[in-house]
Amino acid sequence: MKRAPLILLTGATGYVGGRLLRRLEASGRRVRCLVRDPQRLAHRVGHETEVAAGDVLNPDARAAALRDVSAAYYLIHSMGARRGFESLDRRAAEGFAQAAAQAGVERIIYLGGLGTGGQGLSSHLRSRQEVGRILRNGPVPAIEFQSSIVLGSGSLSFEMIRALVERLPVMVTPRWVSTPAQPIAIEDLLAYLEAALDLPLPESRVFRIGGAERTSYGGIMQEYARQRGLRRWMVPVPVLTPHLSSLWLGLVTPLYARIGRKLVDSLRHPTVVDDDEALQAFAIRPRGLQASIARAIEEEERVLAETRWSDALSSSGLPRDWTGVRFGTRIVSSYTTHVPVPAARAFAPIRRIGGRRGWYHANGLWRLRGALDLLVGGVGLRRGRRDPERLAVGDTVDWWRVEQIEPERRLRLAAEMRLPGRAWLEFEVTPAAGGSRIRQSAIFDPVGLAGLLYWYALYPLHFLVFRGMLRAIARQATRPQA
Q: Specify the CATH architecture of the domain 329-478.
A: 2-Layer Sandwich (3.30)
What confidence score (pLDDT) does residue 97 get?
Answer: 95
Written as tens digits, the pLDDT of the chain (482 aa) is 567 899 999 999 888 999 999 999 999 999 999 998 887 777 778 888 999 998 888 999 999 999 999 999 999 876 555 556 788 889 999 999 999 999 999 999 999 988 775 556 677 788 888 999 999 999 999 999 999 989 988 787 787 788 778 777 887 777 778 888 999 999 999 999 999 999 999 999 999 999 999 999 889 999 999 998 888 888 887 765 555 555 555 555 544 444 555 566 666 778 899 999 999 999 999 999 999 999 988 876 554 444 444 444 344 333 333 345 555 456 788 889 999 999 999 999 999 999 888 999 988 888 888 888 888 877 787 788 889 899 999 898 998 999 889 989 999 999 988 888 888 999 999 998 899 999 998 888 887 677 778 888 888 888 889 899 999 999 999 987 64
Instruction: For residue 471, give the H/E element and its range.
Output: helix 448-478
Helix residue ranges, H only, 418-447: none
What element of type H or E holds 335? strand 330-339
Give the residue ranges of DSSP H helices in 151-207: 156-167, 186-195
pLDDT in the model for residue 266: 62
CATH of domain 6-315: 3.40.50.720
- What are the residues facing 172 on neighbouring strands? 235
Cβ neighbours for 40, distance < 8 A, ≥ 6 positions apart: 13, 311, 313
Largest CA distance in the chain: 72
Alpha helix (H) ranges present in 76-184? 85-102, 123-136, 156-167
pLDDT the model gives residue 313:
36
The domain ranges of the chain are: 6-315, 329-478
Contact between residue 130 and residue 89 where contact means Cβ atoms under 8 Å apart = yes
CB 262 within 8 A of CB 123: yes
- CB count within 10 Å of CB 170 equals 9
- Decide whether 6-315 matches 329-478 in CATH topology: no
Question: What's the pTM value of the predicted model, to 2 decimals?
Answer: 0.69
80-109: burial string, b at 16+ Cβ within 10 Å, e else: bbeeebbebbeebbebbbebbeebebebbb
